[in-house]
Amino acid sequence: MGDLVHMVHDEVSVVIDVSGGVPTIAHWGARLNAPDAQRMASMTRRPTTHGSLDVVPALQIVPQHSLGSQARPGLQGHRPGGRDWAPRFSTCDVQTTERSVTTSSRDAIAKLRLDTRIELDASGALCVSATVINEGDSRFLLDALTISLPVPSSARDLTTYSGRWSRESATHRQTIDHGAWTTENRTGRTSHEYPPTVWWSTTDAREWTGEVWGVHLAYSGNHAVLAEVLPDGRRYTQLGELLMPGEVCLDPGGSYTTPKVVGAYGANGFTSASWVLHRHVRSVTPTVPVRKVLLNTWEATYFNHDTAALSALADAAADIGIERFVLDDGWFGARRNDRAGLGDWVVSREVYPQGLAPLIAHVKSRGMDFGIWIEPEMVNRDSDLVRAHPDWVLHAVDYEPVMARHQLLLDLTNEQAFAHVFAQLDALLRDHDIAFVKWDMNRPLIHASAADGAAGAHRQTLAFYRLLDALRTSHPQVEFESCASGGGRIDHAVLSRAVRVWTSDCNDPLERQHIQRGTGMWVPNEVLGMHVGAKQSHTTGRSHSIELRALTALFGWMGVECDPQKLNDHDRSVLREAIALHKQHRALLHSGDVVRFDLDDNSALAHGVFAADRRTALLAYVQLQTSPWLVVPRWRISGLDPERTYTVTHLPLGRMGGIGHTQPEWMTTPLTCTGRELAVVGLQPPSLWPESGMLVHVTS
């Protein structure tokens, strides 16, 4: 094929042109037969026009301004004095395998080398990264190195996400035919505000129809995302780490590698495209034998720690089927409130005179394992650590630090600070029978200067990875959860280390239906912590039935974050039943394909999980608010085997209220029908009260 490399996975093709110094993705989408370079060039070569250059610069994965590209340059930087600010690379080496292309290119004038890697991995994800190497004899001040992925002109719609604490992953869709959409994240974590995932799609795309291209940056720190339509009509997405001024300076021989950009193509709508990103997460996330139903103590006890009370809470948890008991904030140092103790990871003898051993032993005696909360990247001013080592705080020393939640940042780029916190956490995990760690990060990085005075967010992010990796290596039996005030650190890079993410600090099920649906576009349900909170949500003040709270938590990594002792008999019984249902269907929920459905009524949502072989499914229909109609439209259930015969059964969970005098017949007498009939004719839901839902089991 000469200058073209063709990679195939199932129904996806990626065609890469390696003739232009830096690779260009000539096609990423529906499967092609083996492409011919001459034929492809004849079909795709763009004409020159009045008002343009005499050449048509390729839209490369690292666009080069020096070649005339009007895209945002992929490599930005310079040497002292402003030299070598627009390099031009020539290909010097190309290595290919069946599903990967690596290139090495040089600019002999700028004395820079650019290495790239493009892979169509076993999950069907397009994974791209680049490395710049300084081969000169002076420093190169790097401002940015990013990856650009093109999409065809038919991809006119752009879906993006925004959010805040306790309201993550709000979904936005717009048609974009000119200009650019861009976000920049400077929080030092993946962020609640702008998670680094976007989707291009055809304007007709829905959950089960239309072409969709998704792009995700696998990185847990600052980032920049750009989606642009160039004046000549070409479209692309550019993603990369956002570097603070002077943050990365490459000494002679030094190098910088981008975070991995992960792309997903789906020919049949958003649901199938999201499976590509889900499969990628599953391929990198550490293996977990069973994702145990857990109880987290935070909303049950807050800072009120008492061994006897916690033991009683553990008894109540075991009684409803809980398998893991997670002790949240307040067990260490002077941590009686959020103003003191962070950084002192030693069990408080004031609260636990005999240490944690008696509580852990009690938890274990009830058939549960034990988990614990930590926040290793943060410190309180009122802590033994800061009093002893004020220089270990990550901030510009000549300025008063900006506070958040009474917290400062621990400088993990300082080797002494790193060694200290590792030693404390290593001892905690060595000396106690701990199976699970909830790793929190409750404030953004602001003015985060390292000891050398340079911006430290990049190095701090890598140090976080290194600390987590070191603890995982020393304690391979421990499962780690990524939490950052809820959903502030959810990405594919952290999920190559953590087995679970805390989706949101908001347990209000009405909010959670939207949060989980949005976040679930780039990570699968089984890694999303979904908890049953108290009747009245502590983040919204709203009250919801135990039925809706349990149904909403049932589809992910299920947990409980309320005190079962305070539930009335009905609520406790329903919660026990929901946990049993979750365990019964856990193998399906944690391995199947997450599905979402388009409804003809915006007052409701429908979602669920299909088994990979399409022999069974567990689905939910949730009435969010009152419908415009007394009888809601039929629910068309796409995606099952059209020729297979299924039995559709309603799974009762507690009480179900509505405005109907009768229920649809299939809810009382199981229905037998084909997958085609479910997709074309659909299923009639009942007329439910707002903020309620139902479960449906489908078997062949």
- Catalytically annotated residues: 440, 505
Taking residue 61's Cβ as centre, other Cβ atoms within 10 Å add up to: 25
Residue 277 · residue 216 · CB < 8 Å: yes
Tell me the C-alpha to C-alpha distance, in Å, between residue 643 and each of 609, 639, 679, 697, 700. 19, 11, 11, 18, 11
Q: Using DSSP, state whether 49 is helix, strand or coil.
A: coil
692, 548 in Cβ contact below 8 A? yes
Give CA–CA dist 379/339, Å, rounded.
Answer: 10
Structure tokens at 548: 């809706």
What is the SS3 string spanning 539-570? CCCCECCHHHHHHHHCCCEEEECCCHHHCCHH
| C-alpha neighbours within 13 Å on the C-beta side of residue 486 | 24
Task: Give me 100's structure tokens.
Answer: 């990967």
Closest CA to 530 of 494, 505, 493: 505
Backbone angles phi, psi at 699, to 5 degrees: -135, 150
CA angle 26, 29, 30 (to 5 degrees): 120
| Burial class of 273 by CB neighbour count within 10 A (0 to 12, 13 to 18, 19+) | buried
Q: 3-state class of 465 per DSSP?
A: helix
| DSSP count for the chain of H helices, then E strands | 12, 36
* Number of neighbouring beta carbons within 10 Å of residue 186: 17
CA–chain centroid gap for 412, Å, is 24
Q: How would you write 278-300 as a 3-class SS string?
A: HHHHHHHCCCCCCCCCEEECHHH
For residues 479 and 539, what is the distance between their CA atoms, to the nearest angstrom?
27
- 143 CB neighbour count, 10 Å cutoff: 17
> 344 pairs with which residues across the strands?
none
Q: 606 - beta bridge partners?
A: 621
Tokens of 538: 């502590």
- Please give the single-letter amino acid code of residue 687: S
Look at residue 324 and give its three-state secondary structure: strand
Burial class (CB in 10 A: 0-12, 13-18, 19+), 95: exposed
C-alpha 6 chain-centroid distance:
29
d(CA 96, CA 652): 55
First to last CA, the chain: 46
Query: Residue 476: helix, strand or coil by DSSP?
Result: coil
β-pair type (436-439, 369-374): parallel
Q: At residue 320, what are phi and psi to the nearest 5 degrees?
A: -100, 5
Q: CB neighbours of 394 closer than 8 A, spacing ≥ 6?
A: 408, 409, 410, 411, 412, 413, 445, 448, 449, 450, 456, 460
Q: Give residue 283's identity as a one-letter amino acid code.
A: S
Spatial separation of the C-alpha atoms in residues 333 and 352, rounded to whole Å: 10
d(CA 653, CA 693): 9
Tokens of 203: 């304007």
Q: How far is CA 444 from CA 361, 421, 447, 467, 528, in A?
A: 36, 19, 10, 18, 22
Query: Taking the mean position of all CA atoms in its chain, how far away is CA 610?
Result: 21
Q: Are the CB atoms for 116 and 60 separated by under 8 Å?
A: no
